[in-house]
Structure 1
Amino acid sequence: MQRRDLLKFLGSLPAARIGQCATAGLALGSTRLYAAPQTNARLLVVFMRGAYDASNLLVPIGSDFYYESRKTIAIPRPQGSGKSKADGKAVALPLDADWGLHPIMKDTLLPLYKEKQLAFVNFAGTDDLTRSHFDTQNTIELGQALKGQRDYGSGFLNRLVEVMGRNKAHPCAFSGQLPLIMRGKADVPNIALAAPKMAKPLKERQQKLIQRMYKDSTLGDMVREGFTVRNASADAIKKEMDEASGGAISAAGFKGEARRVATLMRDRFNVGFVDVGGWDTHVNQGGVEGALAKRLDILAQGLKGFAEGMGDQWKNTVVVVVSEFGRTFRENGNRGTDHGHGTTYWVMGGSVKGGQIAGEQTELTAKTLNQNRDYPVLNNYRDVLGGLFQRMYGLNAKQVQTVFPGAKAKDVGLV
């Protein structure tokens, strides 16, 4: 097949199919072969689908209310604070008198923060109060005002590509299907990332063997009933987490593909999107250790690998990590957290003014919580990202309004 015939064939395919055909060496849009980007600025948006618990990543070590609210899952205060009761356990890594990092981030996010290549925007999010994963994910990705009719064919990253100009913007969604955030007038290819297979903790055959051992004992009925309840509960939790993740790749999957994404972002694309699922931690969330800590660690390792893979282009790169909403400030009866409101965004890159917690802040007390249960939203994501894009790309007021209609661009000093 001649090269021009190959291009014609690929040009006839829908974007989702092109994404399945794309490789690290050949990344194709609807009708053109992508050359190297003409602008040095690189933007990658990472969406943590499922609403991660921000309070156990960026830990409010200065708040007694935090430790009163989380009897089993709180991250201990740093040693020497005068209030620490760590009892030999790992403790939060202090960033200032009020905030610390989860100790799992010692070798990943903490060095970036100290090198002023990582900032956090706390009390961030949307005014959407539905606490529905699906509704709020749509709200975030669309980037449109809450009031009025929504256009589900227009995501805010696609509109950013439009105002940047098609000759300068080379976008790509690193996902199995084209996400809402990248839908719109601009042609955007997508490349599916490989997802590792997850082994079940206890296989059906093992369960049957254990039940057989207790079949003729007084515990036989209890063992059988226990497995029945456990399986039903595990299936229900997995179903909810899968639905909340919206088909996104796992943190482990992203970690394995991060350097491939970096290669493509360095050489072919300058506006990227990837979603990572598995953050809906209603049960047994854990604190210093546990399910959340493990996922945060894997995601941070993936982002560290991405930074290293960008090479010299890291100095021109901005990575924005968002989630649809936060979790309840107080832990629930299952040693987990429920759907909340405000959350914490991560902004990292070689051109980021890091080493700070940016945006409007507030003291954490029962009175300052939203509806006496979760973080308030003081830094609306449309305003903050509008201000960020304005600085990154030199957008004028009209262009910002195209990307985020009705938003008030808010420069919180991220770049």
Structure 2
Amino acid sequence: MLSRRGFLKAGGLSLLGVGLMGGIPAFVAEAAASDKFLAPYKKAKTLVCIFQRGAMDGLMAVTPFTDQYLQAARPNLFMSAAKGNGVSLIDLDGHFGLHPSMSAFEPMFREKRLGIVHGIGSPNTTRSHFDAQDYMESGTPFNKGTSSGWLNRAVGLLGHDAITPFTAVSMTSAMPRSLYGDNPSVAISNLNDFTIQMRGNQQGANMAAKSFEDLYDQTSSNLLKQTGKESFDAVKMLQKTDVRNYKPANNAIYPNSPLGNSLKQIAQLIKMDVGLEMAFAESNGWDTHFNQGTDNGIFSRNVADLSNSMMAFWNDLEAYQDDVTVMTMTEFGRTVHQNGTGGTDHGRASCNFILSNRVIGGQVYGDIKPLANENLEDGRDLAVTTDFRSVFSNVADKHLRINNDKLLFPDWDGKAANIMRG
């Protein structure tokens, strides 16, 4: 039998925010109004994953500023932590410095609620964006045939049936590879315009109520009926809250960016107690081959957006902070040496950030050797010394209480990191 995920990918009903004038179609609103609203679900533990697509330069985000080899390799990109010479790095521990545009992270690091893992990456040496993202999201770095994503498998290991259409939500226009699989998940680009649309049919969002109901009633496929039921249930839940006029707590100000808007809407879903356990968002534009900049420029704008969006989200959560962990990921890092166009090329290891009341924060994890040529992977890159699966599994195990690494990451027999409290 065709799985629900396979059906969705093949052209079935999908849940999308398509930005239509008028929002939810009238026939959907009428269907939702004809039944009672669903009761709120109990407050759940939520893992929020942010994929930085394009490969973030971890050596610029969190710089080993005492490394003389890095300074020599990046004469135009290297930044110092020394005061009095213009904008400087934020000295974290006498060795690593946080990019100044990520100053929003400093209080969380000092309070030990932000952990950083350096030298993290995939054991697969590909420098293809597409392949590296696919391997990281599937969680099987040497198997392109894996049909499911690691976050979808995590949903299946949480020990419950599909009791809410919002168990796993990606704030994207299309389902990310991380959430492919048989366990329930939806992709929503905008809560304000949450609709049901026939994928591939530009007129789908405008079809009349009778057309939709005929399709729904006449089909003999239980699969389609279940997809339609989840769609109606999701609309019912959202109708209980005025998502358009949401007011963040603590005067949190989200950047007016795709990431900021995504995290703002994830915060709404968490506070609505709709049973959200897995949330996914994207940050794009990290492929800095040209004019990367230092304290200003492309990279600076990106890290400012990342840190400011995450901190607005965190401040907005208030009493929900104990139940939420935010983790970033990126497919690989950048070369140690700058290139001839003021940027960096595809490399190997990068770093990631974990924001949580459960993280053993206030430190930079990882084994980063001096960046002399003999210590570089392939003579050019920061070596991968921490397998991404060791970090992802530790976060999932400690925060979500999954404790089944064999199913979460097949073909991996490594040891989980120790960066989260039990």
TM range (shorter): 0.7 to 0.9
Match of 1:99 among 89, 96, 100: 96
C-alpha spacing 1:409/1:162, structure 2 compared with 1 (3 Å): farther
Q: TM-score, normalization: structure 2?
A: 0.73
Q: 1:400 to 1:45 in 2, by over 3 A?
A: same
Distance 2:93 2:381 in 1: 22
Letter in structure 1 aligned against 2:182? K
Q: 1:165 to 1:284 in 2, by over 3 A?
A: same
Residue aligning to 2:148: 154
| CA distance in 2 between partners of 1:42 and 1:351 (Å) | 12
Deviations 1:199-250 (A, max 9, x none): xxxxxxxxxxxxxxxxxxxxxxxxxxxxxxxxxxxxxxxxxxxxxxxxxxx9
Question: 2:58 is matched by which residue type in structure 1?
Answer: A
Secondary structure of residue in 1 paired with 2:51: strand
Whole-Å separation in 2 of the counterparts to 1:18 and 1:333: 42
Give the ranges of 4+ consecutive aligned residues of structure 1 lying more than 4 Å apart after TM superposition: 18-23, 33-39
1:110 aligns with 2:102: no
The within-5 A match list for 1:1-400 is 14=12, 16-18=14-16, 20=18, 36-38=40-42, 40-79=44-83, 87=85, 89-106=86-103, 108-146=104-142, 148=143, 150-151=145-146, 153-167=147-161, 170-193=167-190, 252-267=257-272, 268=274, 269-396=276-403, 399-400=404-405
Distance 1:34 1:292 in 2: 44
* Letter of the 2:108 counterpart: L
2-structure distance, mates of 1:39, 1:264 = 11
Alignment gaps of 5+ in structure 1: 1-12, 80-85, 195-249
From the superposition, tell whether residues 285 and 270 of structure 1 become closer, same or farther in structure 2 (CA, over 3 Å).
same
**C-alpha distance in structure 2 between counterparts of 1:78 and 1:414, whole Å:** 32
Q: Which residues of structure 2 form unaligned runs of 5+? A: 1-10, 192-254
> What do the CA deviations read for 1:93-119 (whole angstroms, capped 9, x no partner)?
10112101111122x111111111111
In structure 1, C-alpha distance between the alignment counterparts of 2:13 and 2:189, rounded to whole Å: 12
Query: What SS does the corresponding residue of 2:186 show, helix, strand or coil?
Result: coil
Q: CA deviation at 1:18?
A: 4.9
Partner Cα separation in structure 2 for residue 15 and residue 61 of structure 1:
51
Q: CA deviation at 1:392?
A: 2.0
Once the two structures are superposed, residues 147-197 of structure 1 have per-residue CA deviations (whole angstroms, 9 ceiling, x without a partner) of x5622x300000000011234881111110111110101110111049xxx
The structure, 1 or 2, with the larger RCO (C-alpha pairs under 8 Å, 6+ apart) is 2
Q: What residue identity is the alignment partner of 2:317?
A: M
Aligned-partner residue type, residue 269 of structure 2:
L
Question: Are the structure 2 counterparts of residues 59 and 259 from structure 1 closer, same or farther at C-alpha, using a change threshold of 3 Å?
Answer: same
Q: Is the contact made by 2:54 and 2:285 (CA closer than 8 Å) also made in structure 1? A: yes
The 2-side partners of 1:149 and 1:307 are apart by: 35
Q: RMSD value over aligned CA atoms? A: 2.6
* TM-score, normalised with respect to structure 1: 0.74
Distance 1:321 1:125 in 2: 12
Cα deviation, residue 264, structure 1: 1.2
Contact 1:252 1:299 (8 Å CA) reproduced? no
- Pick closer, same or farther for the CA change 1:19–1:252 going to 2, 3 Å: closer
Q: Letter of the 1:182 partner, please give it.
A: L
Paired with 2:327 and 2:92, the residues of 1 have a C-alpha distance of: 20
Find the aligned partners of 1:372 and 1:187 in 2 and give their Cα distance.
44
In 1: Cα distance, 2:189 partner to 2:43 partner: 25
Partner residue in 1 for 2:411 = 406
Letter in 1 for 2:121: G
Percent identity, please. 26
Contact 2:124 2:141 in 1 (8 A): no
Instruction: Give secondary structure in 2 for the equivalent of 1:130.
Output: coil
Whether the 8 Å contact between 2:172 and 2:189 is mirrored in structure 1 is yes
Q: Is the 8 A contact 1:15 1:178 kept in 2?
A: no
CA–CA distance in structure 1, aligned partners of residues 39 and 95 of structure 2:
46
SS in 2 for 1:299: helix
CA distance in 2, matches of 1:404, 1:266: 30
CA contact (8 A) 2:46 2:400 kept: no
How far is 1:309 from its partner?
Answer: 1.9
Asked if structure 1 preserves the Cα contact closer than 8 Å seen for 2:69 and 2:370, the reply is no
Q: Verify the 8 A CA contact 1:251 1:278 in the aligned structure 2.
A: no
Structure-2 residue corresponding to 1:8:
none
Letter in 2 for 1:73: L
Query: For this pair of structures, how many residues does the alignment match?
Result: 330
Distance in 1 (CA, whole Å) between partners of 2:39 and 2:136 is: 30
CA distance in 1, matches of 2:382, 2:38: 42
CA deviations 1:61-85 (Å, max 9, x no partner) are 1111111111111112323xxxxxx
Distance 2:178 2:92 in 1: 33
